[in-house]
């Protein structure tokens, strides 16, 4: 059975993020003209990393259930970590946890414990700031991802398959990325094929879409391109997504339009999760 390998420090899995840092990311994000697509990309990657790290946190430390890589593509294609992690391909998640560029505080609405709502401040670590410069060499980024992930799966042949998440506006400038995306999803461990998911950050005003099972409702060709490159959700993920109230079919893909994929992280199985834990 696929996607049942244990994820532990002894048998870690891997997350690789591809982030579009091209010039077109300076365009407005959705209807919100004050926010650029590049701002949204950095919000999405920072939030995904934050949630993944919290998932692996225990008292007094973060357990290295995952190794994390980030490839940026724009003026250049390559490892995008800054600071102490600069130039590194894949790093244990505890190192990422301990080296954010800075920690901001943000406010959010929270339960006041008495049926009301209260403003709370939460810490929001920042690893990536917005960048928008150069072309969109997505094909080159996918080829680089393929090489890294082949290396990972040859070193972890029986591990839980790597997850690659591409965050982009879907406007590549170096050709059709469908073929390199297809090659990427052919990489596998004995536990299943690599999972390739896409987060589409768009200037389009259409409302957000999460885990669709066809491309008919998507607003443009860029969204359709990214949707069709994305892996179909394996059964265990379809079950979880369905529990979140999203209708699924065998064609449901790991694709989000104007949304993030934080939902997916909640369902990574690294042990017992109480059903009364929110």
Partner 1 sequence: MEALLTLLRLQKAGNAEAEYEDASCPDENGRREGAELRFAIADGASEGMLSGAWARVLVELHCRFDWMGGSVEQFLESAYGDWQSFTSEYLRGRETRNSPVQWYEEPGFEVGAFSTLLGLTLTGRSQDRSGAWTAVAVGDSCLFQVRGGALLRKFPLEQSADFNNRPVLLASKPAHNGQAIGAVRRMSGTFEPGDVFYLMTDALARWALGEDEEGRNPWTVLRDHATRDGPAFGAWIAALRNDRELRNDDVTVLRIDLPGREPDRSPSA
Q: Does an H or E element contain 79, and which? A: strand 77-79
Q: Distance between CA 42 and CA 33 in Å, rounded? A: 16
Distance of CA 268 to the CA centre of its chain: 13
Q: By CB under 8 A, is residue 133 in contact with partner 1? A: no
247: how many CB neighbours lie within 10 A of its CB? Answer: 10
DSSP string computed for 194-214: -EEEEEE--S--PPPEES-S-
Q: By CB under 8 A, is residue 11 in contact with partner 1? A: yes
Closest CA to 89 of 153, 161, 14: 14
- The piece of 25-33, 188-196, 224-232, 266-274 that touches partner 1 (CB under 8 A) is 266-274
We find the least distance from the C-beta atom of residue 112 to partner 1, in angstroms, to be: 11
Q: By CB under 8 A, is residue 10 in contact with partner 1? A: yes
Tokens of 66: 């995952």
Q: Distance between CA 75 and CA 132 in Å, rounded? A: 9
- The piece of 22-30, 49-57, 183-191, 200-208 that touches partner 1 (CB under 8 A) is 49-57
Q: By CB under 8 A, is residue 272 in contact with partner 1? A: yes
Q: How many residues does the chain have?
A: 278
- The piece of 69-77, 98-106, 200-208, 214-222 that touches partner 1 (CB under 8 A) is 98-106
Tokens of 244: 């979140």
Q: Using CB under 8 A, which of 106, 109, 116, 277 touches partner 1?
A: 277
Q: Using CB under 8 A, which of 23, 30, 125, 130 touches partner 1?
A: 125
Q: By CB under 8 A, is residue 53 in contact with partner 1? A: yes
Q: By CB under 8 A, is residue 278 in contact with partner 1? A: yes
Q: Distance between CA 159 and CA 14 in Å, rounded? A: 9
Q: Using CB under 8 A, which of 26, 57, 246, 259 touches partner 1?
A: 57
Q: Using CB under 8 A, which of 60, 119, 155, 250 touches partner 1?
A: 60
End-to-end CA, the chain: 29
Question: Which residue's CB is nearer to partner 1, number 86 or number 103?
Answer: 103
Q: By CB under 8 A, is residue 54 in contact with partner 1? A: yes
Q: By CB under 8 A, is residue 62 in contact with partner 1? A: yes
Judge residue 250's burial from the number of C-beta atoms within 10 Å of its C-beta, 0-12 exposed, 13-18 middle, 19 or more buried: exposed
Point out which residues bind partner 1 (CB under 8 A): 6, 8-11, 50, 53-55, 57-60, 62, 97-98, 100, 103, 113, 123, 125, 269-278
């Amino acid at each position: 059975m696929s996607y049942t390998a244990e994820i532990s420090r002894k048998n870690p899995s891997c997350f690789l993020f591809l982030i579009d840092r091209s010039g077109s990311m300076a365009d407005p994000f959705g209807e919100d003209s004050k926010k650029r697509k590049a701002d949204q990309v950095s919000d999405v990657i920072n939030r995904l990393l934050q949630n993944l790290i919290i998932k692996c946190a225990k008292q007094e430390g973060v357990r290295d259930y995952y190794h994390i890589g980030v490839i940026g593509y724009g003026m250049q294609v390559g490892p995008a970590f800054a600071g102490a992690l600069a130039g590194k391909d894949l790093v244990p998640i505890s190192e990422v946890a301990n080296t954010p560029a800075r920690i901001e505080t943000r406010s959010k609405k929270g339960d006041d414990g008495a049926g009301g709502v209260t403003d709370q401040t939460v810490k929001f670590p920042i690893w990536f700031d917005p960048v928008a410069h150069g072309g969109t060499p997505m094909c080159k980024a996918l080829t680089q991802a393929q090489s890294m992930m082949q290396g990972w799966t040859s070193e972890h042949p029986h591990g839980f398959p790597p997850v690659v998440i591409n965050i982009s506006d879907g406007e590549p400038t170096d050709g059709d990325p469908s073929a390199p995306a297809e090659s990427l999803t052919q990489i596998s461990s004995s536990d299943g094929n690599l999972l390739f998911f896409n987060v589409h950050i768009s200037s389009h005003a259409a409302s957000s879409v999460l885990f669709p099972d066809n491309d008919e409702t998507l607003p443009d060709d860029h969204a359709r391109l990214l949707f069709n490159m994305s892996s179909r959700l394996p059964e265990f993920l379809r079950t979880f997504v369905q529990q979140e109230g999203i209708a699924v079919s065998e064609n449901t893909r790991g694709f989000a339009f104007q949304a993030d994929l934080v939902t997916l992280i909640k369902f990574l199985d690294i042990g017992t999760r109480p059903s009364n834990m929110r």
